[in-house]
Structure 1
Amino acid sequence: MDQANLRDFENFEDHEAERWRHLAELYSRPWFTRLWVIQEVGLASQAWVMFGSEIIAWREISDTATCIAIKARAIADHLRMESGVWDCNTLTQIFSTKRRRLNILEVLLLSEGFDASEPRDKVYAVLSHPSAMMSDGQLILQPDYECSMAQLNTTIALQFLKWQGSLYLLSAVHHMQSEDLENSERVSWIPCWEKDTQYMPFWLDDRRSIHWAASDTPACFRLSSDERKLTVTGICFDQVHDYGSIVIGKFTNQWKADIHVDGNKRSLGHLRELSSLIHNHSQSRSSIYATNKEVWVAACRTLTGGAPTVNLTDFMAFLSKYPEPCALFEEYAHGGVGEWFVHVATTKTANRRTFITRKGYVGLGSRPMQKDGIVCVLFGCPVPFLLRKSEHGYRLVGECYVHGIMHGQVIRAWRRNEFTEQEFELH
C-alpha cells in the first residue's frame, strides 16, 4: 500500500477499519515491552505467538510491524499502537542476521527502553546475545544478583573499554540534572543502565555511521589504578556561550517521545521556537553560517541530530505552516514531508537543549550543560562531547551535535596545526 494517513483511515470501510483496530489490540499488548522477550524471540529457531485462540508466526507479526512503521505511521499513532510496533521492530533488529551484527553496547542501548522488574536484568537479560561472547568463548560478565547496580555499571563499562578498545561507551551517559555531576561519589563517564532511556546516541543508526567528528583517529585513553578516572585525548574546540530551554520528555522509543517545554504541554510550537532561536542567532555577526539557506540547513540538521533521512524540504514543509508564510520556505518545501521532520526532531530534541558556542556554532546537547562548558572532539569518537571543568579534572556532561564539525573538520584543522591536542582526566 502507499503511505497511509489519518484521512485514509477515516474513509475506510467499516470492516477494514475493524481490521486495524484488531491490529492495534495486538500491538498494544504489554508483552512487546518486556525485556526478557528479546531473547525468547531472538534465540528461537521458529517463534510462534499465542494471541487468544490464535497462533501466529512471529515472522508475520514482525513483517506486519515493519510495514506499518513504513507505510502507516499516522494510523498507528492514532490507534495508539506505535510503541508496540516499534518495540516489535527493535526485537527483530537486535537478533537480525540480515544486517551487520550489533555490538554489546548497541544491544544495551536498543533494549534500554524495555521493562524489567529487576534493574540488573537491564544488563543480564541481553547476555544471551552473540555480542556478549568474547573471543575466548567467555561471557563479557557473569550474572551476579548480589552485586549492586553501581558495581554492575562499573563492571560492564570497564569490560567494554578493555575488550572493545572503544570510547563509544561515553555516548551512553545520560545525566539528567546538574546534581548528577556535582555528586563526587558518582563517576561521570560510566553509564547507568538501570535508568529509563532518555535518548539514543546521535551516532546510533542501524544502516551506517552517520557522524565521524574524530575522523580516522584511533581512541586514545587510559584508566587510573583504581579504575575510577578515565584519561582521554582530544581537542578543545569551543565553549558554550548560551543555551535554550530543556525540551523535557519521556522517551519511549525511537518512534515517539511525549514532550513538553518548561512544564507546558508539547505543541509543534516548541520546534518553531527552537528554529527561530537558531535562525536569529545565525543572523548575527558571530554566526559562521554565511547564507540564509545555510542558516536553515544548520537549524534543520541541529534539531534532527544530523539524521540523514530528513531533508531540508521536510523542514521547510514544516516551517511553511507558520502563520506568516515565507517565500523561502515555499521555495524549498516542494516535495517535503513536514510530519517526518516533526517525528525525527521531536525524538532527537527530547531531554536535550539547543546551544550556541562562542565561535558562532549551534548545537544540541545534554540537559545539565552550563555556560563556558567545553566542546571537545575526543579521538576515536564519532560525535563531540561537552565537558565541565572541575577541581580534580573534568566531568563528562554528555555527547552533543554541533553543526559544522560532525565530519572531521576539527581533526583536519588540528592536522594543519590550528589546534593542539590535550588530555582530559574524566572522573
Structure 2
Amino acid sequence: MPDAQMSFVCGRQTVPWDYASRFFHAVGRYRWGLERVFVLAKAGYTYSNMDAPVNTLREIWKMKGETAEAQCTLMKRLWHFRGRKCGDPRDKVFSILGICKDLREGDIVVDYSFSVARIYSEVARFIFERGHNLRLLSACQAYGKNVDDLPSWVSDWSIDARFRPMGTIASWETDAAQKYIYHASGSASAPRVEISDDLKALKVQGIVVGKISVLGTHIENDGDTIKTPESQNRMFWLFKTWWPLAKSHTLKITADGERRIDAFWRTIIMDTNSLDYSQKATQEEEGAQFMLWMTEWNPSIFEPEDLDGYGNVQQYVNYLASFQQATRNRRFFITEAGRMGLGPRLVEPGDLVCVLLGSQVPFVLRAVDEHYVIVGECYCHGVMEGEAVKGLDEGEVAFEEFTLR
C-alpha cells in the first residue's frame, strides 16, 4: 500500500521508516554514511543509550537535506527497483506508478497490449520532456539488453545495472542541480530534445571533444571490499596496465598545463573526493593517498619528478575504494588529442566523446550508418567543467545535431 506509514521505534522515540531504511542502507554500503556517523560521534552522540540511533537518523537526514517526497520521482524509483525481479518486464514500470510523486493521471498508461520496448520508450519520452535534462542517458550503458528493438537512448529496466551513474553520482536521488559535481556543458541552456513519433530516434545537440584511440584492459570488478589482498591486487594490476599507456600516449605536461601524473590519478577516480562524492578530489588528500599507495607497492615505476609536491597520509584505502567504484564496468581510454578518461566497458577505438547540450557529463557515441548509438556516459579529464563549450556565445564553437537510435 503506497500510503502506508511504517515507523522505526527506539525506546520512547519514533522515526519514519523511510528515514531508518536510508540510514541503514547508507551505513552499510556507502562510505559517506560511516563518515557522518563518525562526525556525529565526535559531536557527542554515542551508542551507549538507546536514544542515540534515533538522533543519528535524524541528523544524517538533515545533513543530506533531502525529503522522501523529493525522491519519489519515476526515474528515481525505476533506478531503485531495477535490480528486483518480476515475471512481466512491463511491471518494472506499472508496479511503481502509484508511488511516483511526479506523475499525473494519464502520464503513463497501463496497457499490457503494449510491447515492453514501447512502454520503456514512452517512459523515456516522459522523463526527457518533463525533466528538461539528459539525466536519463546516464542510466543507459551498452553492456547488453534483454528487450528487442529498444533504442540505445532508452534504458532497459528489465536488467540490473552493473555500474553506478557518474553523471549524477552525488544527486541521482534529488533534483537539486547545485549538487552536481560535473558541469560538462557549462551554463548552456536546457537541452533541445526531439523524439520521433515512432519513438525510435532521439535528436540532441552536442560537441565532439575527441575520438578514442587507445584503450586499457578491463577486468571484472565485483565491488567487494577493497581491504582484501585480492581486491588490492586487482586494483594494482589495473594501474600497472594503464599507467604505461598514459606515459606512452600523453605528454608529461598536458595541453591544459597539468602534470600527466596528476591528470592520471584524478582520471581513474573520476576526480571525486574519496569520502564525499559531492566534492572534488584534492592533491593534499586523494593525491597524497595515491602516491603513498604507489610508493609502497612499487616506487620504481615513477620518475623522481612525479613524486614532488605531495604530502603524506597514513592510509590509502579510501583512494582504492574510489578507484574500485569508479572503474566498475568501465575502462581507461585516451583520445587522439591525448585526453585521458574512463568510459563504458564496451567502448571501442573510433568512438566519439561528446558533450551534449544540457548534460552534466560527456557521453560516448558510436556512428552507425547515418545515426549514432549511445555507448554510455564517460569521464574525460579536462572537459568536465564546461571547457568544451567555452566560446559558444562568441560563435567560436557551435553545437551539431546527433540523431540517436
TM-score strictly above 0.5: yes
Q: Relative contact order: is structure 1 or structure 2 higher (C-alpha 8 Å, sep ≥ 6)?
A: 2
Does the CA contact (< 8 Å) of 1:282 and 1:289 recur in 2? no
In structure 2, relative to structure 1, the CA distance for the partners of 1:231 and 1:65 (3 Å cut) is: closer
Residue in 1 that maps onto 2:182: 211
Does the CA contact (< 8 Å) of 2:72 and 2:99 recur in 1? no
Cα displacement string for residues 336-370 of structure 1 (whole angstroms, at most 9, x for unaligned residues):
64111111221121111111011110011112222
Q: Does 1:343 align with 2:321?
A: yes
Q: Does 1:299 align with 2:271?
A: no
Q: Which blocks of at least 5 consecutive residues in structure 1 are unaligned?
A: 1-38, 50-55, 74-87
Residue in 1 that maps onto 2:364: 386
Does the CA contact (< 8 Å) of 1:316 and 1:330 recur in 2? no
1:19-418 to 2 correspondences below 5 Å: 44-48=4-8, 58=17, 63=23, 66=26, 69-70=33-34, 97=67, 101=71, 103-113=73-83, 115-118=84-87, 119-131=89-101, 133-134=102-103, 137-138=104-105, 140-145=107-112, 147-176=114-143, 185-204=149-168, 205-206=170-171, 208-217=179-188, 218-250=190-222, 267-273=234-240, 276-277=243-244, 279-281=246-248, 283-284=250-251, 287-288=254-255, 290-291=257-258, 294-308=259-273, 309=276, 310=281, 311-324=286-299, 328-329=306-307, 332-335=310-313, 337-418=315-396
Distance 1:157 1:65 in 2: 28
Aligned residues: 351
Q: Which amino acid aligns with 1:116?
A: K
In structure 2, relative to structure 1, the CA distance for the partners of 1:267 and 1:142 (3 Å cut) is: same
In structure 2, relative to structure 1, the CA distance for the partners of 1:317 and 1:128 (3 Å cut) is: farther
Q: Which amino acid aligns with 1:234?
A: G
Does the CA contact (< 8 Å) of 1:300 and 1:312 recur in 2? yes
SS at match of 1:272: helix
Distance 1:333 1:103 in 2: 44
In structure 2, relative to structure 1, the CA distance for the partners of 1:283 and 1:375 (3 Å cut) is: closer
Cα displacement string for residues 57-76 of structure 1 (whole angstroms, at most 9, x for unaligned residues):
85667546655641599xxx
Give, in angstroms, the shift of residue 404 of structure 1: 0.3
Q: CA RMSD in A?
A: 4.0
Give, in angstroms, the shift of residue 214 of structure 1: 0.6
Q: Which amino acid aligns with 2:7?
A: A
Give, in angstroms, the shift of residue 381 of structure 1: 0.6
Give, in angstroms, the shift of residue 213 of structure 1: 0.4
Q: Which moved more, 1:399-408 or 1:239-248?
A: 239-248
User: Between the two proteins, what is the percent identity of the paired residues?
Assistant: 23
Q: Which moved more, 1:312-321 or 1:343-352?
A: 312-321
Does the CA contact (< 8 Å) of 1:313 and 1:335 recur in 2? yes
TM (normalized to structure 1)? 0.69
Distance 1:148 1:111 in 2: 20
Give, in angstroms, the shift of residue 380 of structure 1: 0.5
